[in-house]
Amino acid sequence: MVLLTWMGIWPTITTVLWLLLPHLLPHFPLPVVTLIVTAIVVPLMGYVVMPFLLRRFGGWVRQ
């Protein structure tokens, strides 16, 4: 389950940072940027990425 979570979290965080960091970092301090990024990543992981990964790899996880 840890490997599956990592498989979802790494590309999600990387994509969100790649898209938003150049726009946010010049205007907000790092703790606010982290707050914004996690506010986006956590729901994405909970409602989009993990359900997809569990459908895809659910049999492997349950073994």
CA distance 36 to 51: 22
Q: What pLDDT tens digit does each residue of the chain (63 aa) get?
A: 899 999 999 999 999 999 999 999 999 999 999 999 999 999 999 999 999 999 999 888 776
The two tokens of residue 36 are 């914004």
Based on the number of CB atoms within 10 Å of its own CB, is 14 exposed (0-12), middle (13-18) or buried (19 or more)?
A: exposed
Cα atoms found within 13 Å of the Cα of residue 7, Cβ hemisphere only: 12
Record the pTM: 0.86
* CA-to-CA dists, residue 60 to 14, 33, 48, angstroms: 25, 35, 19
